[in-house]
A and B are shown apart, each in its own frame.
Chain A
Amino acid sequence: MRKGVAIALGSVLFWAGRASAEEQPDLSNLSIEQLAQVKVTSVSKQAEPLSEAPASLYVIDHDQIVRSGALTIPEILRLAPNIQVYQSSPSHWIVTARGLNGLPSAQSFSNKLLVLIDGRTVYTPLFSGVYWDMPDLLPDDIERIEIISGPGATLWGANAVNGVINIITRSASSTSGFYLDVKGGTNEQVVGARLAGKAGSDLSYRAYLRWLHEDAFDLAGGGSANDAWHRLGGGFRLDWTPAARDLVTVQGDIFRGRDDEGIGALEDISGHDLVLRWNRDMGPGRQLQVQAFYDRSARDSFSQEGSFYVDTYDVDLQDSLPLGSRNQFVWGGGVRVAHYRINGTTNFFFVPDSRNLFLANLFVQDTFDLSRLVSLTAGLKAEHDPYVGTSLLPDLRLAITPAQSTLLWAAVSHAVRSATPFDEDVRESAPGITLTGDRNFQTEKLTAYELGLRLRPLSGLSFSATGFYHHYDDLRSVELGPGPGLNLFWGNELAGHSYGLEAWASARPFSWWTLSAGATLQKEQFHFKPGASAPFIGTTQNGTDPDHWLTLQSSMNLGRSVTLDLNLRAVGRLADSDVPAYAELGGRFAWNASDHLQLSLLGANLLHAQHVEYPGGDAIGRKILVGLEWRP
């Protein structure tokens, strides 16, 4: 043992004498066959697609995901500095960007994000929010998650108002063989398995299965919240390259689960989907993508007899081509039909209870090089929704790259959150009080002004800052109708603005240590419009947002086989609520015992025995799990 320490110290002294932070072992004497077998311990984050995009874009990459110890998609999203994630129960999460996180007591839920998994939308058309207990993936299958705060409506599509979350899974060819992932603690157990390989030289496949179970949290006032849940899901992906310029992907998932919703109340969740995608490289810089998907989502709260299902059918086309030497032109469009049926209860139902929602869009965007350093991107999307009709969504972005390591950008864009069945058709009642959807509900409108700077002065050092000013109009409000009792209905009588700063930086002081920090600071000011009839409900009914959100991450390679990752977040007090500011810590310690076996210790919410993140939310406890990953 002493000898080992002496060698370790010797190597430390040897390395300490060398100044460069980018030491690499000598690979030049290896044969190409040996090079093909060199195991890469870190994959660069430099060449991300979209890294030059003039938008507030943060990318969570594969390494960050698997090293964070996060087990579900919302937990992974906590790694991004430009998005806000709140947990209210083991299976219920609220995710938003640039505020507007909802207020459950005013029947308002976060509803202004576009969330995609491999091109398939996962927000529900019923209220434009996301049921975060429904999508689930093996973290190891995720290639990266692109997070854009701010509108991305022109290219991205419907509901990209306050942000876009684009989850991209790895191609089937990037993994092979069997993989087993078991993580367990006293409160949570997860088992994942994957089989991947090749059938012939141009067809790769992957299939996975994942089981997740989480025990109930406590109520904020003490006692069990009785909200344990479990979920079993599986799926596959096929990538076929019939020719070098073609890539055909077929993928699908299926899942079943059950959420306890308090004593005696149970909710079954289920769904399946199938995605077909064809990419063709048309030569000279031209790319064509055609995609179709089908998705079924269903929830059945059977003890209270409420249930619904949604079937979504969607076809999209996107064509990107250079025009001359100075224009990069993109055009495309899509149609989507969502068929749903809601079996309501006597005090919560929809009229009508079933509809076919037809959405269509057509867009054009051109990036024009004004000079070698300056480019202008102008886009326009026409979006048709079933309630209000057609909205025009323009977007203008200017990018200046005075040096290869510097990007300065500015953008003005317009986006809308279209009306949904929850805005138009809902009927809710409680003794002495009713809430009715409004057939004249308008789209909620946002005009956003952004200014951003991105720097990468040195390899391993990067910085991004975005200032934003959002002007909102026709935000949803609770209005008071005539008659005895409280007859409430939805209106569009709130307007106002929010502004703030999103900034993050990443540094690699040593090749074995990466440090990242992020901060979002925001202020919101909303006011009632002259037609408002129920101003007593308050201007924060669309969100009880904190004024700051800070993140800090440390990622260390302690030798060849040990890694230690820590992530800290500090969140401000939620406005107009009793949810205090808090700070929490999570992370993972992993030991790669061999090429085939990794053992880990991971945890989340480690600093406090319990804390609350959202109004009416549970007291979230500490969790610690041990993990085993095996690749025979």
Chain B
Amino acid sequence: MTTRRAFLKPVVAAIAAALLAGAPAFAEVSDVAVKAAFIPKFARYVTWPSSAPARTSAQMIICIIGDDPFGTMLNAAAAGQEVDGRPMAVKRLSSAAGASDCAIAFIDGARTGETLAALGRQPILTVTDSRSSPQRGVIHFTIVDRRVRFFIDNAQAQARGLTISSRLLALAVGVNQG
């Protein structure tokens, strides 16, 4: 009897505390938050061609094209990050028009395929999400064993003039070499 009480008690305390306060005792980790944390970090493991805006402009621009699942999360994640001493900025677009200065483009929503097609072969690291689109950018998020992972399309990266480091390739759940 005493052992059962000891087992039950912390659970009951946790429930009571959570209910009484009406506030989380522990924070949630959503897939969107992890994706937002990933995106600015990708920049360190990708080399853009020297003429690309990703290399020449004063800021490294991350674009969200189509639906925006992040709210303020991506801005927060990008805020502290820099590449070669250049800060990162987030820009939201409804279509591929105006995307030429993007270094990274996260593309989401029903028109992902059209947007990818419209971006042509511009030197942009395209990022897509399997939860909303079967069409794949260079990096395609997925969820494996409750962890956020991604596929890498290295053939598409090369067509865009991007070189992806082996450290990032090693983390992919699958790499398409073309």
Contact = CB atoms under 8 A, between A and B. Distances in A.
A39 B30 contact: no
B101 interface: no
B85 interface: no
B47 interface: no
Interface in B56-101: 67, 69, 71, 73, 76-77, 80-81
A322 B29 CA distance: 37
Contacts, number: 201
B27 A23 contact: yes
B1 interface: no
A25 B148 contact: no
Interface in A544-580: 556-560, 562, 564
A430 interface: no
Contacts of A39: 29, 146-147
Interface residues of B, number: 73
Contacts of B21: 12-13, 15-16
A526 interface: no
B80 A28 contact: yes
Interface stretch (A41-49, A75-83, A290-298): A41-49
Contacts of A559: 14, 18, 25-26
A173 B32 CA distance: 20
A12 B114 contact: no
B147 A32 contact: no
A512 to B, nearest CB: 4
Interface in A213-249: 241, 243-244, 247
B26 to A, nearest CB: 5
Contacts of A22: 71
Interface of A (DSSP majority class): loop
B11 A591 contact: yes
Task: From B36, B144, B167, name the one whose CB has the most chain A CB atoms within 10 angstroms.
Answer: B144
B38 A46 contact: no
B22 A510 contact: yes
Please classify how large the interface on chain A is, using the bins under 10, 10 to 19, 20 to 34, 35 or more.
35 or more
Interface of B (DSSP majority class): mixed
Contacts of B117: 283-285
A173 B167 CA distance: 21
Nearest to B148: A40
B52 interface: no
A286 interface: yes
A609 interface: no
A371 to B, nearest CB: 14
A319 interface: no
A281 B45 contact: no
A37 B147 contact: yes
26 contacts: A8-B17, A11-B17, A12-B18, A12-B20, A12-B21, A12-B23, A15-B24, A18-B23, A24-B28, A24-B33, A27-B34, A28-B80, A32-B167, A32-B168, A35-B41, A43-B131, A44-B69, A47-B67, A47-B69, A176-B144, A243-B178, A244-B155, A285-B114, A558-B14, A558-B18, A591-B11
Interface of A: 1, 4-5, 8-9, 11-13, 15-16, 18, 22-25, 27-28, 30, 32-33, 35-44, 46-49, 52, 173-177, 201-202, 241, 243-244, 247, 279, 281, 283-287, 322, 404, 459, 510-512, 556-560, 562, 564, 591
Given A27-B37, A44-B69, 18 more contacts: A11-B26, A12-B23, A12-B25, A23-B27, A24-B29, A36-B148, A38-B148, A40-B30, A40-B148, A42-B31, A44-B131, A46-B67, A47-B109, A49-B132, A174-B144, A244-B176, A286-B113, A510-B22
The 3 closest A-B pairs by CB, nearest first: A47-B132, A285-B113, A284-B117
